[in-house]
Structure 1
Amino acid sequence: MSLTSTVKLRNDVEMPWLGLGVYKMEDGQEVVDSVKSALELGYRHIDTASFYKNEEGVGQAIKESDVGREDIFVTTKVWNDEQGYEETLEAFDRSLNKLGLEYLDLYLIHWPVPGKFTDTWKALEKLYKDGKVKAIGVSNFLPHHLQDVMKDAEETPMVNQIELHPELHQQQTREFCKANDIQLVAWSPLARGKYLDAPVLKELAEKYDKTPAQVILRWDYQSGIVTIPKSVKKERQQENADIFDFELTDEEIKRIDELDLGEEGRNGPHPDEFDY
């Protein structure tokens, strides 16, 4: 297994298990350099969003890279004030134009905006049907949001990207997604580093000669979760990628699972309490 290892989505599109998230990277040189260094290291999955305001830099880095477009899995997302059927189609065109790409690998609804996300989903279905995007999905959706989408959908979301890390398991959402063949992607997989000193993580890091962050990313991988840690530093990108040469035991996975705090472990907003 390596950085190019993939999981097959429901429609047989292959998505790399590990990617680079670019949230809060400045557009321009910072994001360009970060994406280029990740691609040089072997990353083949880049996750951005309209809201991040750095799609142009991501596109520039892809263009300047030696890696062929067909080998890079690119995700972006439609933001809350762009949602609705026609609005989403227009937002997609804006994102594609900023990225300078002819198609997207994955397009996501960033948050479930009440009264809008079902129409937004219909727009994503059209984009998928028209061949402008290889896969479509959602982000920050709980089971009840997914049920609302699936009620009248032609396509079930292929991906759900949620805040997920050892202190926030989102077990109900995980079980719903597994039952409906929706691939989970973890954003903020390292929870901004706030609990990397947890004794179990330090102990396992020492055992395997890894860092606590690498132990968490390995836990994601062995739990069947795609993960997109952010880093602007090449050495940290390399470190995040160096998780394929060791394996946690089932017992060790369970011990990390015990770090779960339920909703108290959430760092970002709850989807039902987000100020839309």
Structure 2
Amino acid sequence: MTDQPAITVDGHTIPLLGFGTWNLEPADARKMVAEALRIGYRHIDTAWIYKNEAAVGDGIRDAIAAGHVKREDIWLTTKIWVAHFHRADLLKQAKESAEALGFTPDLLLLHWPKPEPSFEETLGALNEALEQGFTKSIGLSNFPSFDFARAQTLSKAKLVTNQVEYHPYLKLTSLIATAKELGSSITAWSPLAQGNIATDPTLIEIGKAHGKSAGQVTLRWLIQQNIIAIPRTSKVSRAEESFDIFDFELSAEEMDRIHALARPDGRLGDWLDKAFQWDEEWA
């Protein structure tokens, strides 16, 4: 699929650097997806709840028409919203998402864990969506370790990733270990901590040693862990900057310094249902 750094999970090759579209209005999503693919990104992430799936599909078609990419070279992810977790609703949304995109997504995720309907019903329906051809693989988003592992026991197909918030201010040791044990992967949303990394003295100092920005250092730190990162921006120049991370490598000491930035209050976006609990990394 790509000559960029990638991770292979259950036979699927997933580029480690992707482009996210959360909070992008349709016009911006179409433009930025096309630009991202022109720049060289080969992994695009969206979701039903972002209300831009059709625009993302248009952006992909624009890039294909311009000769920048072929469909088979793109990894495309979307997500089932929590209001659609009953079997019939999930299958209906899976079909509608594929139709809105105009492409069968490579990966379909459950957006957040919910206690009702049961995991058995929802995971069963997600597997049905795969079997019916509405997606090429399935996975999760925002599942703590215990629920990640439980979901895999209930899924006939491999859950190829768990997409969660991850950046230098969060400690994700348990979840990363769980993904490894399950033969799965972790995808980082808000990998740049919603811009907070830009002024971090440690990241700036490390960046100066490599002629890179704090953001580039952060993305490099993620992909050197074999973590998939999906930064989002509405600026072409920023997308170009984020893609320019394949010509340097962080030392083990630099990696450790970045890991040391994690703190108990580092989480920026928490919409986890109260029936679930994040891993107690600081206990």
TM-score normalized by structure 1? 0.93
Q: Could you say which residue in structure 2 is the equivalent of 1:79?
A: 81
1:45-87 CA deviation, whole Å, 9 max, x = no partner?
A: 1100000000010011112222221111110000111111111
Distance in 1 between residues matched to 2:262 and 2:118, nearest whole Å:
29
Shift of the 126–50 alpha-carbon distance from structure 1 to 2, 3 Å rule, reads: same
Q: Residues 221-260 of structure 1: matches in 2 within 5 Å?
A: 221-260=223-262
Q: Could you say which residue in structure 2 is the equivalent of 1:130?
A: 132
Q: Could you say which residue in structure 1 is the equivalent of 2:7?
A: 7
Distance in 2 between residues matched to 1:127 and 1:60, nearest whole Å:
23
Structure 1: give runs of 5+ residues left out of the alignment.
none
Distance in 1 between residues matched to 2:199 and 2:215, nearest whole Å:
10
After superposing on structure 2, the runs of 4+ consecutive aligned residues of structure 1 that deviate more than 4 Å are none
Post-superposition offset of 1:133: 1.7
Q: Could you say which residue in structure 1 is the equivalent of 2:37?
A: 39
Distance in 2 between residues matched to 1:192 and 1:133, nearest whole Å:
29
Preserved CA contact (<8 Å) 2:112 2:140? yes
For residue 194 of structure 1, give the secondary structure of its aligned residue in structure 2: helix
Distance in 2 between residues matched to 1:45 and 1:138, nearest whole Å:
17
Shift of the 199–248 alpha-carbon distance from structure 1 to 2, 3 Å rule, reads: same
Number of matched pairs: 270
For 1:237, give the aligned amino acid: A
1:111-143 CA deviation, whole Å, 9 max, x = no partner?
A: 001123622221121222334322110000001
For residue 138 of structure 2, give the secondary structure of its aligned residue in structure 1: strand
Preserved CA contact (<8 Å) 2:94 2:134? no
1:148-173 CA deviation, whole Å, 9 max, x = no partner?
A: 31333212411100000111122211
Distance in 2 between residues matched to 1:43 and 1:3, nearest whole Å:
11
1:76-103 CA deviation, whole Å, 9 max, x = no partner?
A: 00011111111100010111111112x2
Preserved CA contact (<8 Å) 1:3 1:44? no
Which is worse superposed, 147-156 or 106-115? 147-156
1:121 aligns with 2:123: yes
For 1:8, give the aligned amino acid: T
For 2:267, give the aligned amino acid: R
TM-score normalized by structure 2? 0.91
Preserved CA contact (<8 Å) 1:15 1:73? yes
Shift of the 117–43 alpha-carbon distance from structure 1 to 2, 3 Å rule, reads: farther
Shift of the 238–3 alpha-carbon distance from structure 1 to 2, 3 Å rule, reads: farther
Distance in 1 between residues matched to 2:199 and 2:255, nearest whole Å:
17
Shift of the 89–63 alpha-carbon distance from structure 1 to 2, 3 Å rule, reads: same
For 2:269, give the aligned amino acid: G
Post-superposition offset of 1:6: 2.0
Distance in 2 between residues matched to 1:76 and 1:13, nearest whole Å:
16
Distance in 1 between residues matched to 2:220 and 2:154, nearest whole Å:
37
Q: Could you say which residue in structure 1 is the equivalent of 2:28?
A: 30
